[in-house]
């Protein structure tokens, strides 16, 4: 857990809600209708229901406003319907060069559980950060958490932080979303260590390749890391996942692998077809919980493979780790 937001990693989490949510808005559940009159609030935001596009946009800007030292919102590009696509950058303030973990959730708009998971993931990071700042006194990673580091909020085109992204704004009309994502990733590929693309459904952790039966150069490694993730996932709620490649069609993970990103996976979340794309809301929480375990397992492995010598050194203080774990658990 402690590796999540260390100096070594930062996260880019793309929740492209503009993609079709407006065309197929989830029906508000009874509790949403109930709350209709009450003001929107980050504190009461529910992570166990599906939200409409506007609500997810609002969530993204509120969470990056409230935790602006760690979470910033950036424009990736526009959808063909001229909806902005944002990604969240999650990072501890530090001048160290960091490797990047990419995760996109909801490239396919009908897969509602995918953006729900990304929101869950960001929420969990927030908890982690909270417990970290109150317990380890900022010593763990050599940065002082309490200093008032002024991270720019990057509203559309307004921040200099975003200058390198503006090329995405006026993409060609055909599949601008894919182009925005791919040119963005391509421009940073040297720094991207892990590429996770979250979809539903099928309960699969897919490795490259999908476009050929050929195996990727690090196939065994990918399978081993993926299988460990599936085991961690199953340990949570007993859900069975299959791990492997399936030469049925090419996808972004293939492309990510081919441009040199060492760890590239597609997650197909619950279920195996009973409900399909419209996974019942009472499965959001367990699905997110178990997926979190799988993603953390991958991140741990990626970390250890990338920085083998650091992995041991990182466990500097058992007390710190324990207090982190304890506070994390108590906050859940």
If one asks whether residue 110 binds Zn ion (CB under 5 A), the answer comes out as: no
HSE value, Cβ hemisphere, 13 Å, CA-based, for 23: 10
**Longest Cα pair distance anywhere in the chain, in angstroms?**
56
- The contact mask relative to ligand NAG for 196-215 (x = CB under 6 A, - = no) is --------x-------x-x-
- Helix (H) or strand (E) run with residue 179 in it: helix 176-187
Q: 49 vs 64, which CB is nearer to ligand NAG?
A: 64
Stretch near ligand NAG under the rule CB under 6 A, chosen from 10-18, 21-29, 242-250, 278-286: 242-250
If one asks whether residue 248 binds ligand NAG (CB under 6 A), the answer comes out as: yes
- Residue 242 · residue 306 · CB < 8 Å: no
Give the residue carrying structure tokens 């990182």.
314
**281 in active site:** no
CB atoms within 10 A of CB 315: 12
Stretch near Zn ion under the rule CB under 5 A, chosen from 54-62, 63-71, 134-142, 198-206: 198-206
Please identify which residue in 95, 97, 148, 240 interacts with ligand NAG, judged by CB under 6 A.
Answer: 95
CB of residue 281 to ligand NAG, shortest distance in Å: 26
If one asks whether residue 316 binds ligand NAG (CB under 6 A), the answer comes out as: no
If one asks whether residue 240 binds ligand NAG (CB under 6 A), the answer comes out as: no
Residue, CB closest to Zn ion: 199
Q: 38 vs 248, which CB is nearer to ligand NAG?
A: 248
If one asks whether residue 108 binds Zn ion (CB under 5 A), the answer comes out as: yes
Beta strands in the chain (DSSP E): 9-15, 71-78, 84-90, 99-105, 192-200, 204-206, 242-244, 263-269
Catalytic residue among 55, 111, 177, 268: 268
DSSP state of 263: E
C-alpha separations of 220 from 102, 105, 128, 225 in Å: 22, 26, 32, 9
Q: 131 vs 245, which CB is nearer to Zn ion?
A: 245
Q: What would the two tokens of residue 285 be?
A: 């929480």
CB atoms within 10 A of CB 326: 12
Which are the catalytic amino acids?
268
Residues that bind ligand NAG (CB under 6 A): 93-95, 137, 143, 149, 204, 212, 214, 242, 244, 246, 248
């Amino acid at each position: 857990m402690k590796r999540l937001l260390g100096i070594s990693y930062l996260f880019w989490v793309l929740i492209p809600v503009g993609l079709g949510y407006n065309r197929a808005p989830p029906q508000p559940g009874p509790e949403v209708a109930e709350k209709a009159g009450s003001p929107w609030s980050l504190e009461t935001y529910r992570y166990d229901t599906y939200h409409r596009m506007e609500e997810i946009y609002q969530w993204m800007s509120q969470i990056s406003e409230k935790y602006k030292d760690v979470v910033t919102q950036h424009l990736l590009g526009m959808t063909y319907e001229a909806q902005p696509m944002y990604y969240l950058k999650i990072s501890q303030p530090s001048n160290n060069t960091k490797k990047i973990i990419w995760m996109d959730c909801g490239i396919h708009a009908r897969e509602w559980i995918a953006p729900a998971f990304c929101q869950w993931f960001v929420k969990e990071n927030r908890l982690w950060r909270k417990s970290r700042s109150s317990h380890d006194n900022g010593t763990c990673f050599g940065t002082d958490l309490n200093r008032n580091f002024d991270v720019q909020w990057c509203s559309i085109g307004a921040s200099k932080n975003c200058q390198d992204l503006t090329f995405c704004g006026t993409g060609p009309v055909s599949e601008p979303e894919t182009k925005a994502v791919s040119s963005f990733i391509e421009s940073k590929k040297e720094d991207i260590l892990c590429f996770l693309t979250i979809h539903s459904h099928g309960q699969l952790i897919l490795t490259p390749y999908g476009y050929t039966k050929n195996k990727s150069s690090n196939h065994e490694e990918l399978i081993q890391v993926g299988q460990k993730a599936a085991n961690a996932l199953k340990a949570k709620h007993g859900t069975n996942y299959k791990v492997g490649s399936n030469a049925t069609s090419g996808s972004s993970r293939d492309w990510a692998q081919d441009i040199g990103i060492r760890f590239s996976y597609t997650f197909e979340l619950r279920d195996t077809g009973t409900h399909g794309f419209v996974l019942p809301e009472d499965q959001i929480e367990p699905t997110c919980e178990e997926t979190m375990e799988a993603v953390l397992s991958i991140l741990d492995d990626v970390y250890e493979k990338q920085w083998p010598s650091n992995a041991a050194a990182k466990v500097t203080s058992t007390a710190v780790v324990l207090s982190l774990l304890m506070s994390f658990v108590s906050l859940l």
